[in-house]
Amino acid sequence: MSGNTSRDSEGWRELNRASWDERVGIHLKAPGYDLAPLRAGRGQLNAVEEAELGSVDGLRVLHLQCHFGADTLALAQRGASVVGLDFSPAAITAANALARELGLADRARFVCADLYDAPQAIAEPAAFDLVYVSWGATCWLPDIRRWAEIVAQFLKPGGRLYYADAHPTAYIFDDFAPEPDGRPGWFSPYLERQPLKYTDPNDYADPTARLENATNVGWLHPLSDIVTGLIDAGLSLDWLHEHASLPWRMFKVLEKRDDGDWHWPDRPWLPLAVSLKATRRR
């Protein structure tokens, strides 16, 4: 992260949407998004989900913040019937084009709407076996309790949430002020629950890209807020895992390994990702 930062969230939705719209064109060609397996009919998820998700064959899946639909379509290739939602018109246009190209348009529907408008935009309460949320999703949302309520609302009783994302404790560190050994230095408090507006023209999936829409607003939601929000919304936690790797180069010191994820160069120093499964109580 670089440039000016502030604690105001003014214009968060427009700023973030402009940035995500711009990233779609970059990501469709980016090394961080290899679409070859998807085009060959064998779309890959990242190492963590591949190990944990299990079969989705025959399930109705809602993929929240689906970006341009690569993971959504990989789930459709595995036999799921999927709905993807994202607030970026560019992402949804690309997702629909990809679905048509791959012959998956009958199994994959994409909806352009803000996460908080999802109940009106999809209007299928309690219709899904699985809500799927992954990688770089909840940090863009101001209200984590409302997010959890929306997740619960879409699940059938007994349906489950699968969630894999950056670990909130990793967001308190940043490469802006590295330690002498290259590890990231201190950046942002964990428990403040304040927005962070920052400007960073770099993109996580293409190191050569420079964004014109480089100002974003994000939120660090403590792990306890995520888990308690889900429990209060009517879900039971089945398990929660912490991981010392994640699918993008969050810090320069991380190294890419054969599993495709980025790891600490030596000892696992700090959790980089968290995943959980939670089931809607009946």
The site for ligand SAM (CB under 6 A) is made up of 16, 20, 65, 67, 70-71, 86-88, 91, 114-115, 134-137, 140-141
CA dihedral of residues 39, 247, 264, 31 (deg, nearest 10): 50
Contact status, residue 250 vs residue 244, Cβ threshold 8 Å: no
Q: Tell me the HSE value of 224 on the side-chain side, using a 13 A CA sphere.
A: 3
d(C-alpha 160, C-alpha 129), whole Å: 6
Q: Which is nearer to ligand SAM, 70 or 157 (CB)?
A: 70
Q: Which is nearer to ligand SAM, 96 or 134 (CB)?
A: 134
CB 229, min distance to ligand SAM, A = 16
d(C-alpha 146, C-alpha 230), whole Å: 10
Q: Which is nearer to ligand SAM, 123 or 267 (CB)?
A: 123
CB 172, min distance to ligand SAM, A = 19
Q: Which residue has the tokens 């000892």?
A: 267
Q: Which is nearer to ligand SAM, 152 or 216 (CB)?
A: 216
β-pairing, 235-243 vs 273-280, is: antiparallel
CB 179, min distance to ligand SAM, A = 27
Q: Which residue is nearest to ligand SAM (CB)?
A: 136
d(C-alpha 239, C-alpha 274), whole Å: 11
CB 138, min distance to ligand SAM, A = 9
CB 132, min distance to ligand SAM, A = 9
Q: Which is nearer to ligand SAM, 162 or 173 (CB)?
A: 162
